């Protein structure tokens, strides 16, 4: 997510040139008014108002948020071992931690539950964080410690910067913090949060950009790891594909295509599951077979019913529906062929008759065969030959 220009402004707690002590006093008055049901001198920022509203609706008091819950040592180590964020530590240390001492802030990495996994940076700020309970193993989710840049960023799924009394708990008023979610580039899922925290008077507009830059570099590291894993799986899969004896695809456990043999497929399929048929463009219904850290996907022996929806109106497309749906755009010629086949059901149509319908004569059989071949590569075994028609297990729904 870019944080340049107006987009970045939405996440800023304060702008340049703001009188910070005066603004902190104003926010304290806002906090007191909102939580007591009175009219505040100014409205809280939208992200803050949403967070306070969630907490009030759940009956969470600011005083309760000062009671920090700690994971024990074994749980903390287990979380550190499981998380994919452990591999981004070198990247974050090179971009953030090295300047943390000089800039008087700490860098915190938390997982998807808001548990603080690692914390590094300024010794003085770490000591202040210790007194607050903002330590490794602390559960810093919004529902436990109130509005904060770790837990609230997880709820909002977006960068969050907070200043002083924008925090829900009064003990957090002396802090400013900026957190941003880290996404798994393979799945898009949130892996956790990278946070920069320091004293309230150290807040700065550039901190949002700094955190976002670190997050982008971290996500790039995760993507490089992903490509290395794909290369390893590709080397392992090569002889298996060669011996597959027909069209097949090898994917990793997230569905990213490693290699395909005899078929053209998208970069990513639905993540396979054992014993669950998978609908693959160009292959039809397939059975995933475990292959090292991935899956071999090839056509299943039996034929399950599938639905083919043909939308041949403005922008022609074909949608195959099964356990997983997928759609292919159609060229005008392919749309014309599919319309002819739909009208020729159930007997079908031979190549010469198709040539006459498409070209006005029976002399373009070779061109017809080429077009049908391209269609079958795109849509899979929903079409049969000799004669050309839809397969017996395909239910056709024509739109337009």
Name beta bridge partners: 190. Answer: 183
CA 292 to each of CA 222, 250, 278, 386: distance values in angstroms, whole numbers, following the listed order: 20, 11, 19, 40
Average pLDDT, the chain: 87
Which of 234, 224, 398 minimizes the C-alpha distance to 312?
Answer: 398
Which of 4-13, 249-258, 271-280, 286-295 shows the highest mean pLDDT? Answer: 249-258
Domain boundaries defined on the chain: 5-225, 244-299, 306-399
> What pLDDT is recorded for position 380?
66
Q: Got the DSSP string for 114-177?
A: -BEEEEEE-HHHHHHHHHHT-STTBB--HHHH-S-TTHHHHHHTS-EEEEGGGSSSGGGTTEEE
CA 109 to each of CA 97, 115, 215, 323: distance values in angstroms, whole numbers, following the listed order: 11, 8, 11, 37
> What pLDDT is recorded for position 325?
67
Q: Does domain 306-399 correspond to CATH entry 1.10.10.10?
A: yes
Torsion, CA 193, CA 196, CA 200, CA 202, rounded to 10? -160
> What pLDDT is recorded for position 318?
87
Q: Which tens digits make up the pLDDT trace of 295-347?
A: 998 876 655 567 888 888 878 888 877 655 678 889 989 989 988 998 888 88
* Residue at token pair 């024990």: 72
Averaged pLDDT for residues 256-277: 82
Structure tokens at 236: 């392992």
> What pLDDT is recorded for position 38?
94
Q: Which residue has the higher pLDDT, 88 or 22?
A: 22
Judged against a pLDDT cut of 60, whether residue 106 lies above it is answered with yes
Q: Which residue has the higher pLDDT, 202 or 25?
A: 25
CB 124 within 8 A of CB 109: no
Q: Which long-range contacts (CB under 8 A, 24 or more apart) does 98-106 make?
A: 100/125, 100/196, 103/198, 103/202, 104/198, 104/199, 104/202, 105/196, 105/197, 105/198, 105/202, 106/196, 106/197, 106/198
> What pLDDT is recorded for position 6?
39
Which of 164-178, 280-294, 346-360 is least confident? 280-294
Distance CA 162, CA 143 (A): 16
Q: Is 42 left (phi over 0), alpha (psi -120 to 50) or beta?
A: beta
Averaged pLDDT for residues 128-151: 96
Judged against a pLDDT cut of 50, whether residue 29 lies above it is answered with yes
> What pLDDT is recorded for position 102?
77
Alpha helices, DSSP H, located in the chain:
5-9, 20-35, 46-57, 73-82, 89-92, 98-103, 123-132, 142-145, 151-156, 206-242, 332-343, 351-359, 365-379
pLDDT band at 204 (very low <50, low <70, confident <90, very high): confident
> What pLDDT is recorded for position 237?
86
Q: Which residue has the higher pLDDT, 60 or 286?
A: 60
**pLDDT > 70: percent of the chain:** 94
Structure tokens at 3: 């944080």
Averaged pLDDT for residues 173-188: 93
Judged against a pLDDT cut of 50, whether residue 2 lies above it is answered with no
> What pLDDT is recorded for position 39?
95
Q: Which residue has the higher pLDDT, 52 or 104?
A: 52
Q: Which residue has the higher pLDDT, 160 or 325?
A: 160
CATH architecture for residues 5-225: 2-Layer Sandwich (3.30)
Q: Which residue has the higher pLDDT, 82 or 313?
A: 82
pLDDT band at 93 (very low <50, low <70, confident <90, very high): confident
Which of 8-22, 47-61, 149-163 is least confident? 8-22
> What pLDDT is recorded for position 53?
96
Averaged pLDDT for residues 234-252: 85
pTM: 0.71
Torsion, CA 122, CA 125, CA 126, CA 129, rounded to 10? -160
């Amino acid at each position: 997510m870019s944080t340049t220009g107006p987009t970045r402004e939405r996440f800023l707690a304060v702008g340049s040139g703001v009188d910070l002590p005066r603004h902190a006093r104003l926010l304290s008055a806002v906090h007191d008014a909102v939580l007591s049901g009175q009219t505040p001198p100014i409205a809280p920022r939208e992200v803050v108002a949403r967070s306070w509203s969630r907490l009030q609706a759940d009956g969470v008091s600011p005083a309760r948020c000062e009671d920090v819950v700690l994971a024990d040592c074994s749980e903390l180590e287990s979380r550190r071992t499981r998380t994919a964020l452990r591999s981004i530590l070198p990247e974050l240390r090179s971009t953030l931690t090295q300047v943390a001492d000089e800039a008087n802030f700490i860098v915190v990495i938390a997982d998807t539950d808001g548990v603080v996994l690692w914390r590094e940076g300024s010794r003085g700020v770490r000591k202040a964080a210790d007194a607050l309970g903002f330590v490794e193993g602390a559960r810093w989710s919004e529902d436990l410690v109130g509005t904060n840049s770790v837990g609230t960023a997880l709820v909002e799924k977006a960068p969050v910067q907070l200043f002083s009394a924008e925090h829900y708990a009064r003990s957090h008023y002396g802090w400013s913090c900026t957190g941003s979610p880290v996404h798994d580039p393979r799945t898009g899922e949130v892996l956790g949060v990278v946070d920069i925290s320091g004293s309230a008077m150290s807040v700065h507009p550039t901190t949002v950009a700094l955190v976002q830059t670190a997050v982008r570099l971290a996500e790039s590291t995760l993507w490089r790891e992903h490509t290395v894993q794909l290369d390893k799986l590709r080397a392992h899969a090569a002889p298996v594909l060669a011996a597959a004896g027909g069209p097949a695809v090898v994917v990793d456990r997230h569905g990213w295509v490693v290699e395909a043999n005899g078929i053209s497929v998208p970069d990513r399929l639905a993540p396979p599951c054992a014993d669950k048929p998978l609908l693959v463009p160009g292959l039809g219904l397939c059975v995933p077979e475990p292959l090292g850290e991935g899956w071999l996907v090839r056509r299943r022996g039996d034929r399950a019913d599938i639905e083919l929806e043909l939308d041949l109106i403005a922008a022609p497309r074909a949608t195959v529906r099964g356990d997983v749906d997928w759609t292919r755009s159609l060229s005008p010629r392919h749309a014309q062929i599919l319309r002819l086949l739909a009208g020729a059901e159930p007997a079908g149509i031979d190549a010469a008759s198709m040539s006459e319908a498409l070209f006005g004569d029976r002399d373009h059989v070779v061109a017809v065969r080429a077009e049908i071949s391209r269609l079958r590569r795109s849509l899979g075994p929903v079409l049969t030959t000799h004669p050309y028609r839809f397969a017996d297990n395909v239910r056709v729904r024509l739109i337009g």
